Amino acid sequence: MSLQSKASGRVVITGIGAATPLGTGVDSYWPRLLAGESGIDTITLMSTEGYSSTVAGEVKDFNAEDWLERKEARRVDRFLAFAMAGARLAMADASFPDDPEIRLETGVMIGSGIGGLDTMTENTRRLHMEAPSKMSPFFVPYMIPDMASGLVSIHFGLKGPNSCVVTACATGTNAIGDAYHIVKRGDAVAMVTGGSEAPINPIGLGGFCAARAITTNNEAGSRASRPFDLNRDGFVLGEGAGILVIEDYDFAKARGAKIYAEIIGYGMAADAFHITMPDNAGDGAKRSMVKALQSAGIAPEQVDYINAHGTSTPYNDKFETLAIKRALGDHAYKIPVSSTKSMTGHLLGGAGAVEAIFSVLAIRDGMVPPTAHYETPDPECDLDYVPNKGRSHPVNIAMSNSFGFGGHNATLVLKKLLD
């Protein structure tokens, strides 16, 4: 197959793959998501004695050997195994050509907010409890966040642009947005992109408990994540990965690819306010959404659905609600807004990519996922949060938000392909 000599300027999504607390693969997680089921439960990956939070969204029954050769599966960090699972699912879903010329012009942009915490935890133990000589030679390669992009590139022979985004909880969205620009300007014919995270270990859980950003409502169990609800008390830690294959529109059409949706807009803005707390006027989040709409060339009234960042923290949900109203005006009250973190927990660097996939599926099926465990309205959160069960609703244009520590704000705009 000959490659395009000139980029079309349009970028489409042709493959999706995700490992989530609700399951691995679309057929596993999508029906459960629409039903308002929760993938959150008591932590089993580690002892939680002494920790203030004991619930999380774990990817259950995940076996790295299903996605990697046995020897490699036994030594790679969990976040890398998630990334490989997502990539294998997405590449298969896209029926991506096994053509050396095409793969020469196909790149990878997969981010991670933290990287290999399991690898860091184990090697820190060896350093302090045994000796420096007992540290693994794979410590650095399997800890650094960019190795998800590296491994996917190696395994699939993808030799185009290869990079990594690290913007805390905005990582997955930024990775897709940056990959979108690479394809749009013609630097690659396709990109494998998204985010992956595996933070449920002593360092990750301990750090977020110390930061007091995480729920302590352990008695709630599977219902601990309740975005926009008056009684929310913090986010629930989650793990997993979301990976998408995106392609130049003309290239995808020429090879007869199945197209889920088109990426039409991407916006970024900084709070420049505080290292962890969002801007109290929702200014950075608002400007991110406005920039995404401007990039897409659409009016606020054309947005049909928003997959909110919706972490279930008191500040984020209040200020994101304010930001949505500032960005969309009166239209904010006329469309469904939901937080799927109510069912998956917060996947940190993987969140934006998984939520972009959920938005794509909402476009495909005309079904909006709910905000689960929504019981008591908060007067300061007064939008239509699709309580507890998915809703049939035509979605032509969806917006997906991600905001991260450090004041990072990122927004994607996705559109149903009508031509």
Q: Which two tokens stand for residue 333?
A: 């009250």
CA atoms within 13 A on the CB side of 350: 36
Q: Is 142 left (phi over 0), alpha (psi -120 to 50) or beta?
A: alpha
**Residue 309 CA to its chain's centroid (Å):** 10
The answer to whether the beta carbons of residues 174 and 111 sit under 8 Å apart is: yes
Residue with tokens 């630097």: 187
Q: What number of other Cβ atoms are within 10 A of residue 210's Cβ? A: 11
Q: Which two tokens stand for residue 345?
A: 């927990």
User: Which residues does residue 191 pair with via DSSP β-bridges, in sequence order?
Assistant: 107, 246
What one-character DSSP code corresponds to residue 346? B
**Residues labelled as active-site residues:** 169, 309, 346
The answer to whether the beta carbons of residues 88 and 65 sit under 8 Å apart is: no
DSSP symbols for 19-49: EETTEESHHHHHHHHHTT---EEE--SS--T
Q: Which amino acid is at 326?
A: R
The answer to whether the beta carbons of residues 304 and 396 sit under 8 Å apart is: yes
Q: What is the CA radius of gyration of the chain?
A: 20
Calpha distance 148→80 (Å, rounded): 5
Calpha distance 59→62 (Å, rounded): 6
In terms of Cα–Cα distance, which of 353, 159, 345 is closest to 243?
353
Residues 6+ apart with CB under 8 A from 152: 83, 84, 87, 108, 110, 158, 192, 243
First to last CA, the chain: 23
